[in-house]
Amino acid sequence: MPKGKIVKALSGFYYVLAENMLYQCRGRGVFRKNKISPLVGDEVIFQAENEKEGYILEILHRKNELIRPPISNIDQGILVFSAVSPDFSAKLLDRFLVLMEAKNIRPIICITKMDLIADHVIDEKIRQFAKDYEKIGYPVFLMTTKEPETVKQVIPYLKDSISVIAGQSGVGKSSMLNCLDHRLQLKTGEISDHLGRGKHTTRHVELISLGGGLVADTPGFSSLEFTGIEADDLPNCFPEIKEFSIQCKFRGCLHQKEPKCAVKEAVENGDISSYRYEHYLQFLEEIKERKPRY
Ligand code: GDP
Ligand code: ZN
């Protein structure tokens, strides 16, 4: 039986991409017994009825999934933050990074609206943040829609991956998607206008082929809460803390007040940024207390 990937779900049909052919499929119901319904992003076994239609027989193992947008098997998260308006927040970025690391999603960081920085001190600050995050191992792109080629820097990173765009409202996610590919613009604008349902249209996601990979046409991220992340998991969600924690004296060291903690030493030596460590401690408290964010 052929294997394919669901790239779109609409009106009870699943569109399965297999070897450059798109099949409009229905589920055969076998997976309904397991209370699992197909998601965009799923790898499936299907049976082709003809060159255009078929049936989904089996959903293969999902490595992860999101609720918003409803999509599975996400490889990469494109985190969009604006330099200004709204102002860049390293703490919010760290929160997104933790959520992605916990789901095994590889993050890349985009800082938009670089054209709006009026003050050279802020410009310096943003460039220093970019260096800090690159040092940790995250790709960082500084961009402005005024110069589309700065946005298109991310295209080579899309290859062979399913990517989802995430970030606060107003940072420029839609503008970025539009700049990457005009088909993405058609998807967000046209459908809701045409049906006249505006913003409350039930969202359907579609994966768009771009740069040799697939990108979700709908930005989003399910939640900013650390639900499902335990205190022990948190050090592993900060790559540089994870790296140094191997040298801590105590196994299970949470790098707070424990003696001979290699992470605290690395902070003191400047090998780990103090603001990253501060955010780690704050998130750890939040997880321990499970207190709401505000
Ligand atoms: P979203 O909510 O994240 O999708 O943000 P939008 O794409 O809707 O952008 C919010 C506002 O920021 C819009 O008015 C955009 O025109 C503006 N914007 C987005 N990117 C840039 C940029 O690089 N430079 C400037 N000057 N404005 C931008
Ligand atoms: Zn430690």
CA atoms within 13 A on the CB side of 81: 23
> How far is Cα 93 from Cα 108, in angstroms, rounded to an integer?
11
**What pLDDT score was predicted for residue 204?**
78
- Which structure tokens are listed for 211? 């740069």
- The CA 271 to ligand 2 mean position distance, Å, reads 14
Helices assigned H by DSSP within the chain: 90-102, 120-136, 148-151, 173-180, 182-195, 239-245, 262-268, 274-289
Q: Do domains 71-216 and 231-289 have the same CATH topology?
A: no
Q: Is the distance from CB of 138 to CB of 109 less than 8 angstroms?
A: yes
- Which structure tokens are listed for 194? 């045409």
- Kindly state the DSSP code that residue 40 receives in the 8-state scheme: B
Q: Which residues line ligand 1 (CB under 6 A)?
A: 112-113, 115-116, 144-146, 167, 169-175
- The CA 113 to ligand 1 mean position distance, Å, reads 7
- The CA 172 to ligand 1 mean position distance, Å, reads 4
Atom 18, ligand 1: which residue's CA is nearest?
A: 172
- Kindly state the DSSP code that residue 146 receives in the 8-state scheme: T
Give the type of residue at 247.
Q
Q: Is the ipTM here above 0.90?
A: yes
- Which structure tokens are listed for 55? 């049936």
Task: With a cut of 50, list the residues of the chain below it in pLDDT.
Answer: 188-202
Kindly calculate the radius of gyration of the chain based on its CA atoms and give it in whole angstroms. Answer: 21
- Enumerate the domain spans of the chain: 3-62, 71-216, 231-289
Q: Is the distance from CB of 207 to CB of 40 less than 8 angstroms?
A: yes
**What pLDDT score was predicted for residue 32?**
65
Other Cβ atoms within 10 Å of 41 Cβ, number = 27
**What pLDDT score was predicted for residue 31?**
67
- The CA 131 to ligand 2 mean position distance, Å, reads 25
Other Cβ atoms within 10 Å of 8 Cβ, number = 18
> What ligand 1 atom has the least distance to the C-alpha of 219?
4
Residue in this structure with the two tokens 């700049």, named with its chain if needed: 179
**Per the omega criterion (within 30 degrees of 0), is the bond before 292 cis?**
no
**What pLDDT score was predicted for residue 185?**
63
> What ligand 1 atom has the least distance to the C-alpha of 114?
23
* Domain made up of 3-62: CATH architecture: Beta Barrel (2.40)
Residue in this structure with the two tokens 């298109």, named with its chain if needed: 152
Q: pLDDT of 158-209, one tens digit each?
A: 999 999 999 998 999 989 988 998 776 655 444 433 433 344 344 678 999 9
Residue in this structure with the two tokens 């082929």, named with its chain if needed: 209
> How far is Cα 102 from Cα 224, in angstroms, rounded to an integer?
12
**What pLDDT score was predicted for residue 37?**
86
> What ligand 1 atom has the least distance to the C-alpha of 143?
23
Selected from 3.40.50.300, 3.30.420.40, 3.30.70.3270, 3.40.980.10, the CATH number assigned to the domain covering 71-216 reads: 3.40.50.300
- 81, 165, 175, 187: which to mutate for ligand 1, most atoms within 8 A of CB? 175
Residue in this structure with the two tokens 């955010």, named with its chain if needed: 279
Residue in this structure with the two tokens 């499970």, named with its chain if needed: 290
- Which ligand has the nearest atom to the CA of 250? 2
**What pLDDT score was predicted for residue 192?**
39
**What pLDDT score was predicted for residue 221?**
75
> What ligand 1 atom has the least distance to the C-alpha of 168?
3
Residue in this structure with the two tokens 């055969």, named with its chain if needed: 28
Helices and strands per DSSP (H, E), number in the chain: 8, 13
Supply the CATH classification number for the domain 231-289.
Answer: 1.10.40.50
